[in-house]
């Protein structure tokens, strides 16, 4: 019998962490894509949001398949910090109209 | 987390299924009914069973409803025009906290009596996507979690079943019930797999702005509002604060139709009715394509001058609209509508058999180990599956029993119907818990009785029995609902009888234990 704590940590990491990461990547793409391509801003928002659901799904599956809990939590934290950091940074450096 | 990828996903499939299956069943069931939401509306509101409207319709008939909205200082006024599935005008606006809906007869322009029901479009359909939980948009988020879980269940289900193609062609109806349940779970699962995945994903994509609000928030200074204005080419202008008049709606509609080569109009929407800066938004009927057409024209309410028009969508938004259109199915195609209904029902069977397989494969072991899991999950299954079916059928039956204008304890007629739904649903959980051994049989008989009663009550209160509704084209939607109710009643009765026979043939484990000890004593 496994303890309940690792299961709870994994649920929070996969479901909560997965959401934060996919929302962060979507925000980064929505802000960043119009800067590096000719994609209009509204189109970047829609594209990033639609793809974020698939990213979230992939993270969910990985979250329950990855055996090393430390690696799961570590990678999710790093990606969450990096995506939200760069999204917020870009939005501050190049303020939207 | 488990030693292998497959074992991990098996764990995920089992637990996500058991924990969220009840919620998923409710969403699938309500979504499947919403395929025929307008037909259910007409079944539940007999005053709207009108023949299809003649095309020469004067929009001036809408003026009294508009004036009522203007007098109430409603922020907006909305009118949808008659279609094949909805042969009447539906107007709506706000009066302080209340949302007013008034239905008009397109032939006379007279208001139809208040139907006193939320029926399909206002109760069953919103239940499907937000569970009527408005606080903090919590309902949307719960449904969103369920939709993500459904996609994860689709992926893990494919990984778990090694012999997926063999299973697809396997249905051993004569084998023991556990094998049969798994076969049924696999057949409905594989057959509908693309549908379940796409319907969940598209449901999420419709509300992308709810689920990922941060993207628009960061990309636009003005946040969500600025994004909407930019993305849909929405025209907006502020309130003038002075009273204004309404010009000729007929002239505005004629000009809009001329822009679209004479195509018909689906709706009129007025922002700030009665204000000098009010403007009329006219949308083109888009039932000939999946994504709709995005053709909209904006007119000054007072002068009727064209202010702005837009057509189509930008490419990515066009994709989003197509995916949303796939889910919402507002295009006109009766064969596909029935296919959606069938696949939705298959989804309900998939979820129910998943539960039953879980129960049957653990029943013996849990009884030996003295675990309560099976009892709890069985109660949950009964309430979530037969319980919500009974609640829905009670909602239909009570709709035909309550007289118009009736109220009880300060609750109006529409609220009484919803109370009936909720109380019957709660009662089904209580019944499942109190009578675990007989609950399946008794709830199946209840379903059969309620569905039959609904059909009979429809006949008695409206005179639209099957022979009549089948012979008149504009009543086919009523005939369709009646026939589905009768088919459901027959299936419920058959299930109840089969379960009863099996209960006689297979005595429960306690009796078996007694017999075994008697045999040992002899």
Q: Nearest-CA neighbor of B256 among B217, B218, B284? A: B284
* A13 contacts chain B (CB < 8 A): no
User: If chain B, 522 residues long, is cut into consecutive pieces of 10 residues, what is the mean pLDDT of each piece?
Assistant: 87 94 97 96 94 76 92 94 90 92 88 92 96 94 97 93 66 67 85 95 96 93 89 88 92 94 92 94 90 90 93 92 95 94 96 91 85 90 96 97 88 94 97 91 96 97 92 92 97 93 68 57 59
Residue A59's closest chain B neighbor by CA? Answer: B152
CA distance A75 to chain B (A): 16
Q: Look at the alpha carbons of B116, B120, B125, B130 in this order and tell me if their dihedral is positive or negative.
A: positive
Domain parsing of chain A, residue ranges: 6-93
**Residue B330: CB partners within 8 Å, gap ≥ 6?**
B286, B287, B292
Could you tell me the CA-to-CA distances from A87 to A48, B143, B212, B213, B507 in Å, in that order?
A: 12, 28, 14, 14, 64
Q: What is the 3-state secondary structure (H, E, C) of B35-65?
A: CCHHHHHHHHCHHHCCCCCCCCCCHHHHHHH
CA distance A4 to chain B (A): 13
CA distance A74 to chain B (A): 16
What is the three-class DSSP state of B183? Answer: helix
Specify whether the CB–CB gap between B262 and B256 falls below 8 A: no
Q: Are strands B407-408 and B411-412 parallel, antiparallel or unpaired?
A: antiparallel
Residue of B205, B215, B314 with shortest CB distance to A26: B215
Tens of pLDDT along chain A (97 residues)?
457 899 999 999 999 999 999 999 999 999 999 999 999 999 999 999 999 999 999 999 999 999 899 999 999 999 999 999 999 999 888 877 6
Per-residue pLDDT at B163: 67
Cβ count near B32 (within 10 Å): 20
Interface contact B221-A96, CB threshold 8 A: yes
What residues in B contact A10, CB-CB < 8 Å? 1
* A3 contacts chain B (CB < 8 A): no
Q: Nearest-CA neighbor of B33 among B479, B396, B326? A: B396
* A11 contacts chain B (CB < 8 A): no
CA atoms in the 13 A half-sphere facing the CB of B216:
22
Overall size of chain A counted in residues? 97
Taking CA B5 as the corner, what is the angle to CA B1 and CA B6, rounded to the nearest 5 degrees?
115
Residue B222's closest chain A neighbor by CA? Answer: A97
* B320 contacts chain A (CB < 8 A): yes
* B227 contacts chain A (CB < 8 A): yes
Exposure string for B314-341, b = 16+ CB within 10 A, e = fewer = bebbebbbbbbbbbbebbeeeeebeebb
What residues in A contact B201, CB-CB < 8 Å? 53-54
CA distance A19 to chain B (A): 9
Q: Report the alpha-carbon distance of residue B159 to residue B305 in Å, rounded.
A: 60
Q: Report the alpha-carbon distance of residue A78 to residue B193 in Å, rounded.
A: 34
Interface contact A53-B205, CB threshold 8 A: yes
Per-residue pLDDT at A1: 41
* B160 contacts chain A (CB < 8 A): no
- Can you name the residues that pair with B411 across neighbouring β-strands? B408
What residues in A contact B212, CB-CB < 8 Å? 22-23, 26-27, 48-49, 52
Burial of B10 (0-12, 13-18, 19+ CB in 10 A): middle
Counting one residue from chain A and one from chain B, the pairs whose CB atoms sit within 8 A come to 115
Q: Report the alpha-carbon distance of residue B495 to residue B505 in Å, rounded.
A: 15
Specify whether the CB–CB gap between B30 and B125 falls below 8 A: yes
What residues in B contact A56, CB-CB < 8 Å? 148
* B315 contacts chain A (CB < 8 A): yes
Instruction: Give the tens place of pLDDT for each residue, B281-303.
Output: 999 998 888 888 889 999 999 99
Q: Nearest-CA neighbor of B485 among B400, B366, B397? A: B397
Per-residue pLDDT at B350: 95
Q: Report the alpha-carbon distance of residue B397 to residue B450 in Å, rounded.
A: 7
Residue of A60, A64, A95 with shortest CB distance to B221: A95
Instruction: Give the tens place of pLDDT for each residue, B155-201.
Output: 999 988 866 666 666 666 655 667 777 888 888 888 899 999 999 99
Per-residue pLDDT at B406: 86
Specify whether the CB–CB gap between B333 and B28 falls below 8 A: no
Q: Are strands B89-95 and B279-284 parallel, antiparallel or unpaired?
A: unpaired
What residues in B contact A83, CB-CB < 8 Å? none
Specify whether the CB–CB gap between A79 and B24 falls below 8 A: no
Q: Nearest-CA neighbor of B380 among B444, B442, B425, B423? A: B425
Specify whether the CB–CB gap between B151 and B200 falls below 8 A: yes
Interface contact B215-A43, CB threshold 8 A: no
DSSP-assigned states of every residue in B344-391:
HHHHHHHHHHHHHHHHHTTHHHHHHHT-SHHHHHHHHHHIIIIIHHHH
* A97 contacts chain B (CB < 8 A): yes
Model confidence, pTM: 0.92
DSSP state of B135: G
Residue of B1, B3, B201 with shortest CB distance to A53: B201
Q: Report the alpha-carbon distance of residue B258 to residue B255 in Å, rounded.
A: 5
Specify whether the CB–CB gap between B522 and B471 falls below 8 A: no
Residue B6's closest chain A neighbor by CA? Answer: A65
For B308, list phi and psi in degrees, rounded to 5. Answer: -165, 150
Sheet hosting strand B98-104, strand order edge to edge: B98-104, B89-95, B76-80, B265-271, B279-284, B296-300, B306-310
Which of 27-56 (A) contact B at CB < 8 A? Answer: 27, 29-31, 34, 39-50, 52-54, 56
CA distance A65 to chain B (A): 5
What is the three-class DSSP state of B21? Answer: helix
Q: Nearest-CA neighbor of B266 among B59, B67, B94? A: B59
Q: Nearest-CA neighbor of B74 among B247, B271, B248, B236? A: B271
Per-residue pLDDT at A95: 79
* A79 contacts chain B (CB < 8 A): no
Per-residue pLDDT at B342: 96
């Amino acid at each position: 019998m496994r303890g309940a704590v690792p299961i709870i940590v994994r649920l929070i990491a996969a479901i909560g962490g997965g959401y934060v990461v996919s929302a962060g990547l979507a925000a980064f793409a929505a802000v960043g894509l119009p800067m590096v391509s000719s994609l209009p801003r509204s189109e970047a928002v829609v594209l990033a949001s639609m793809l974020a659901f698939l990213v979230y799904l992939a993270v969910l599956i990985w979250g329950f398949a990855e055996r090393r809990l430390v690696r799961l939590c570590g990678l999710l934290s790093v990606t969450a910090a990096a995506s939200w950091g760069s999204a917020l940074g870009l939005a501050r450096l190049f303020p939207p109209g | 987390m488990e030693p292998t990828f497959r074992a991990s996903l098996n764990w995920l499939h089992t637990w996500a299924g058991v924990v969220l299956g009840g919620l998923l069943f409710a969403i699938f069931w309500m979504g499947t009914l919403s395929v025929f939401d307008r037909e259910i509306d007409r079944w539940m509101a007999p005053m709207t069973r009108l023949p299809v409207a003649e095309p020469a319709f004067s929009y001036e008939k809408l003026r009294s409803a508009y004036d009522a909205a203007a007098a109430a200082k409603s922020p907006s006024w909305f009118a949808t025009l008659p279609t094949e599935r909805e042969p009447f005008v539906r107007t709506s606006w706000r009066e302080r906290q209340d949302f007013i809906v008034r239905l008009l007869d397109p032939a006379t322009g007279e208001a139809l009596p208040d139907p006193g029901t939320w029926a399909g479009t206002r109760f069953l359909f919103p239940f499907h996507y937000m569970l009527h939980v408005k606080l903090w948009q919590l309902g949307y988020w719960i449904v969103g979690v369920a939709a993500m879980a459904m996609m994860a269940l689709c992926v893990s289900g494919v990984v778990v079943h090694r012999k997926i193609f063999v299973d697809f062609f396997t249905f051993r109806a004569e084998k023991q019930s556990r094998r049969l349940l798994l076969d049924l779970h696999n057949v409905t699962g594989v057959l509908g797999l693309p549908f379940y995945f796409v319907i969940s994903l598209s449901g999420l994509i419709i509300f992308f702005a709810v689920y990922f609000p941060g993207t628009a928030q960061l990309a636009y200074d003005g946040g969500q509002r600025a994004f909407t204005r930019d993305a849909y080419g929405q025209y907006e202008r502020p309130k003038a604060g002075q009273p204004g008049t309404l010009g000729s709606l007929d002239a505005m509609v004629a000009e809009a139709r001329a822009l679209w080569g004479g195509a018909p109009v689906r709706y009129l929407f007025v922002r700030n009715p009665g204000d000098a800066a009010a403007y009329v938004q006219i949308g083109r009927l888009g039932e000939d394509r999946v994504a709709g057409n995005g053709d909209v024209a904006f007119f000054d309410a007072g002068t009727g001058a064209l202010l702005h028009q837009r057509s189509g969508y930008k490419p990515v938004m066009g994709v989003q609209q197509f995916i949303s259109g796939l889910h919402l199915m507002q295009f006109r195609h009766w064969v596909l509508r029935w296919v959606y209904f069938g696949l939705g029902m298959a989804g309900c069977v998939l979820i129910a058999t998943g539960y039953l397989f879980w129960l049957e494969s653990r029943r013996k072991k849990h009884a030996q180990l003295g675990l309560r899991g099976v009892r709890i999950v069985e109660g949950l299954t009964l309430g979530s599956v037969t319980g919500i079916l009974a609640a829905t059928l009670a909602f239909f039956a009570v709709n035909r029993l309550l007289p118009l204008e009736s109220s009880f304890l300060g609750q109006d007629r529409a609220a009484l119907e919803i109370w009936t739904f909720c109380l019957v649903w709660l009662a089904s959980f209580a019944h499942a818990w109190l009578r675990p051994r007989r609950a399946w049989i008794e709830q199946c008989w209840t379903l059969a009785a309620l569905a039959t009663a609904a059909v009979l009550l429809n006949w008695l209160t409206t005179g639209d029995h099957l022979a009549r509704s089948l012979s008149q084209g504009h009543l086919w939607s009523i005939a369709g609902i009646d026939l589905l109710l009768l088919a459901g009643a027959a299936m419920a009765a058959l299930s109840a009888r089969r379960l009863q026979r099996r209960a006689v043939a297979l005595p429960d484990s306690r009796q078996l234990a007694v017999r075994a000890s008697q045999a040992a004593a002899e």
